[in-house]
Structure 1
Amino acid sequence: MTTPAIQWYPGHIAKAQRQLQQQLQKVDAILEVLDARIPLASRHPDLDRWTRDKPRVLILNKADCISTAQLQSWQQWFERQGLTALPTNAREGKGISRVRQAAQQAGAAANERRRKRGMQPRPIRAAVIGFPNVGKSALLNRLMGKRVVESARRPGVTRQLRWVRLGQDLDLLDAPGILPPKLEDQQAALKLAICDDIGEAGYVSEHVAGALLDLLPQVDNRLEAVLCDRYGFEALDKPGSLLVHQFARDRHTGNVERAAKQILTDFRKGVLGAVALEQPPE
């Protein structure tokens, strides 16, 4: 049976993307928020073209969801690409002060150019950009020190662009999560679905949970014992999709949807451990 393609592009994203592209002409720096579990899959393929030569800081949010060694590997890899990658846990407020400092430093060149033209400095303008549910709004609220934008553990909460002022020297643009109109890389789309970075309307939980069971032992062979212990498998000796059905029969009276959602929720909440689904390219 062919696995359905993963696609999700609600109308508010198309509108927000057009508005965002217009606003990007006015910003001095970009804060690109990534999901630390999938730093490559959660990068928008068109962002380089939209932002061109604007300074950029990468935010590896949900850094607590991966191991320290994995985090350091990603930071070193991005550094080799000429990019600064700062780890944060926006939910708990960790790493926030460094983000503010980095945004100010990244945008400082704009005020230097103004000074040379005899103009007064103005607040630096930085856009906070990323896929849905990677933690942009939670990050912004932590930077502000109060709840200024709606934030929730689901994609699609932020639907409009909004400027907010942080002190006297930094303006931040909070943008809705943006996705390409078509997810060409279905392996990347699958990781987005696993990590809850696209809406549930874009995928079938049963297929995504099965793919997760296939993927986890590949990224860390120690996880096979964890999965067997938690879900009652004797061994991972069959495709993940069949294991989901087995778990449904054994623990959920045959309810495959409920079984699949438990597996996905366990991963998303860290019950299965600190696990990165991607490794830096060699």
Structure 2
Amino acid sequence: MSSPSIQWYPGHIAKAERSLKEQLKRVDVVLEVRDARIPLATHHPEVDGWIGEKARVLVLNRVDMISPEARQAWQTWFKENGQAAYFTNAKQGKGVQNLLRAAQDAGKAMNDRRKKRGMKPRPVRAVVIGFPNVGKSALINRLLKRKVVASERRAGVTRQLRWVRISNEIELLDAPGIIPLKLNDQSAALKLAICDDIGNAAYDTQRVAAAFVDLLLGLDQVERADGGYGDAIAARYSLTLVSDAGEPYTGESILANLSARHNNDLERAAHQLLNDFRKGILGNLILELPPMESSVVMSSTSHG
């Protein structure tokens, strides 16, 4: 199997992007939500240009799916690059109050300027943006402490922009997931597919599952103190990762071995592999290491 080519840009995203750029003029603070397992792949390359000088709060959601060591490594890396990263688990509400305070603090400068001009303060206007399925709607529901916007673990649920008031201090704009018109970085596109952050019509499940295993085995080249990602797969499915001749198996051959338990149904095996990762059954695995990171423990595997 060759490496899959992945492109996905449904019509509603193009429309939402136009509306979002228009609404950004009215916004004081931008909450940019990324997937903690792939913090770089879930950064839209055009967002920096759209935001300009506006205050930004960086949110890394799904902190429950990465190890404490990975969190610390990314926190350090972002800090060294001039950004504070707020880690959240929108599903459970972890880290959400810190995020709310950060958004209010970031918008304070706007009301300070209004005060100087003799104007009354108004609620801070914040927008939540990010790729599809990174947890934006779940985050908004947590901020509101009630379910106001539809939230499902699949891409493309939110399709229109809408304002919701959190309190007298802050209003939030819920925006549909945005994605580049063309996914030029195919290694990033692959990670989006593995993490279910783009629609499944965009990719071939078997190819992505095989590439996922290859990616994990590649990450194992990084020094670890607690064994590697390959160990998580080997233990979970009772598979060997090397042939009798001592040659390492590829993702494709490991997928074929796994399919033997599903009547040689490769599609079913591929779905199992990806779903086990997406549900955290393979353990706390991330798919990206901070650039130049070489000796930090990045995984905490659980074999159940």
State how 1:81-96 maps to structure 2 within 5 Å: 81-96=81-96
* Equivalent residues, number: 281
Per-residue CA deviation, residues 146-165 of structure 1 (Å, 9 max, x unaligned), is 00000001000000001000
Instruction: Give 1:224's match in structure 2, choosing from 221, 226, 230.
Output: 230
Within 2, Cα distance between the matches of 1:2 and 1:87?
A: 35
Within 2, Cα distance between the matches of 1:232 and 1:214?
A: 18
Paired residue secondary structure (2:232): helix
State how 1:63-102 maps to structure 2 within 5 Å: 63-102=63-102
Of all paired residues, the percent bearing the same amino acid is 56
Instruction: Tell me, yes or no, if the aligned pair for 2:63 and 2:87 is still in contact at 8 Å.
Output: yes
Within 2, Cα distance between the matches of 1:277 and 1:4?
A: 17
Q: Which residue of structure 2 lines up, in the alignment, with residue 265 of structure 1?
A: 275
The answer on 1:239 being equivalent to 2:250 is: yes
Within 1, Cα distance between the matches of 2:121 and 2:232?
A: 55
TM-score by length of 2: 0.90
Runs of at least 5 residues in structure 2 that lack an aligned partner in the other structure: 221-226, 243-247, 293-304
> How many Å apart are 1:231 and its aligned residue?
2.5
Q: Which moved more, 1:11-20 or 1:272-281?
A: 272-281
Q: Which moved more, 1:170-179 or 1:252-261?
A: 252-261
Q: Which residue of structure 1 lines up, in the alignment, with residue 146 of structure 2?
A: 146
State how 1:168-207 maps to structure 2 within 5 Å: 168-207=168-207
2:156 maps to amino acid:
G
Q: Which moved more, 1:239-248 or 1:137-146?
A: 239-248
Runs of at least 5 residues in structure 1 that lack an aligned partner in the other structure: none
Within 1, Cα distance between the matches of 2:276 and 2:134?
A: 18
Paired residue secondary structure (1:188): helix
Q: Which moved more, 1:158-167 or 1:231-240?
A: 231-240
Paired residue secondary structure (1:152): coil
Within 1, Cα distance between the matches of 2:269 and 2:126?
A: 42
> How many Å apart are 1:78 and its aligned residue?
1.1
1:256 maps to amino acid:
L
Instruction: Tell me, yes or no, if the aligned pair for 1:232 and 1:247 is still in contact at 8 Å.
Output: no
Within 1, Cα distance between the matches of 2:231 and 2:139?
A: 35
TM-score by length of 1: 0.97
Q: 1:69–1:3: structure 2 CA closer, same or farther, 3 Å change rule? A: closer
Within 2, Cα distance between the matches of 1:276 and 1:223?
A: 9
Within 1, Cα distance between the matches of 2:252 and 2:94?
A: 37
Per-residue CA deviation, residues 204-250 of structure 1 (Å, 9 max, x unaligned), is 110111011111133245222221232242224222122212211x1
1:105 maps to amino acid:
D
Instruction: Tell me, yes or no, if the aligned pair for 2:124 and 2:171 is still in contact at 8 Å.
Output: yes
> How many Å apart are 1:256 and its aligned residue?
1.1
Within 2, Cα distance between the matches of 1:229 and 1:274?
A: 14
Instruction: Tell me, yes or no, if the aligned pair for 2:234 and 2:241 is still in contact at 8 Å.
Output: yes
The answer on 1:252 being equivalent to 2:262 is: yes
Q: Which residue of structure 2 lines up, in the alignment, with residue 58 of structure 1?
A: 58
Q: Which residue of structure 1 lines up, in the alignment, with residue 128 of structure 2?
A: 128
